[in-house]
């Protein structure tokens, strides 16, 4: 056991908890959860992506994506349209309501990050970004 690493894990846990708590409350009022926000977030930043593209971005299985994506489509928050060149391919975009909800949810997180980054300064912000980049790098699993 490493107290130093335990503390890092706890800080990550509590930091993430604070980052998602306000959006989670809003999502719950719509009968949605964090997985739905992730889908809305990535579709907003990559309009016209395919389900396969979304699977690659989220790094999840088709099975785990199916239910939340179907709920967003049914709720009219995400639209699925034909590809201009290949009718077998479906392209995902946000509806007007989906885009508004995504902006609200992500805006809450942007404001939290902005306040924290302002408090810690640019050097520490960059150090945090470096740590997160390395945590997300599959090659670091060594």
Instruction: Report if residue 17 sits inside a domain.
Output: yes
Distance between CA atoms of residues 113 and 62, nearest Å: 31
Instruction: Report if residue 41 sits inside a domain.
Output: yes
Distance between CA atoms of residues 109 and 96, nearest Å: 20
Q: What is the pLDDT of residue 7?
A: 97
Instruction: Report if residue 38 sits inside a domain.
Output: yes
Instruction: Report if residue 28 sits inside a domain.
Output: yes
Structurally, the chain folds into a number of domains equal to 1
47 CA to centre of own chain: 14
Instruction: Report if residue 121 sits inside a domain.
Output: yes
| Structure-token pair, residue 71 | 């709920």
Instruction: Report if residue 99 sits inside a domain.
Output: yes
Q: What is the pLDDT of residue 125?
A: 97
Q: What is the pLDDT of residue 84?
A: 81
**The domain spanning residue 80 has which CATH number?**
1.10.10.10
Place of tokens 């997180």: 109
DSSP 138: G
Pick from 38, 79, 81: which is nearest to 57 by CA?
38
DSSP 112: H
Cβ atoms of 23 and 108 within 8 Å: the answer is: yes
Domain extent, residue 101, equals: 3-137
Instruction: Report if residue 142 sits inside a domain.
Output: no
Instruction: Report if residue 34 sits inside a domain.
Output: yes
Query: What distances in angstroms separate CA 110 from CA 23, 27, 126, one per listed residue?
Result: 11, 16, 16
| Structure-token pair, residue 141 | 């699993």
Tens-digit pLDDT string for the chain (142 aa):
899 999 999 999 999 999 999 999 999 999 999 999 999 999 999 999 999 999 999 999 999 999 999 999 999 999 999 878 877 889 999 999 999 999 999 999 999 999 999 999 999 999 999 999 999 887 766 5
């Amino acid at each position: 056991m490493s107290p130093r690493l335990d503390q890092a894990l706890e800080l990550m846990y509590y930091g993430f908890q604070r980052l998602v708590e306000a959006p989670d409350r809003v999502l719950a009022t719509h009968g949605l959860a964090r997985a739905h926000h992730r889908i809305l977030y990535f579709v907003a930043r990559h309009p016209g992506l395919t389900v396969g593209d979304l699977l690659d971005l989220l790094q999840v299985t088709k099975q785990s994506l199916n239910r939340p994506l179907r709920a967003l489509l049914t709720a009219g928050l995400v639209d699925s349209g034909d590809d201009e060149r290949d009718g077998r391919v479906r392209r995902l975009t946000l509806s007007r309501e989906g885009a508004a909800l995504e902006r609200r949810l992500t805006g809450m997180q942007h404001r939290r990050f902005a306040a924290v980054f302002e408090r810690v300064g640019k050097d520490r912000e960059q150090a945090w970004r470096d740590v997160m980049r390395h945590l997300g790098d599959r090659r670091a699993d060594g």
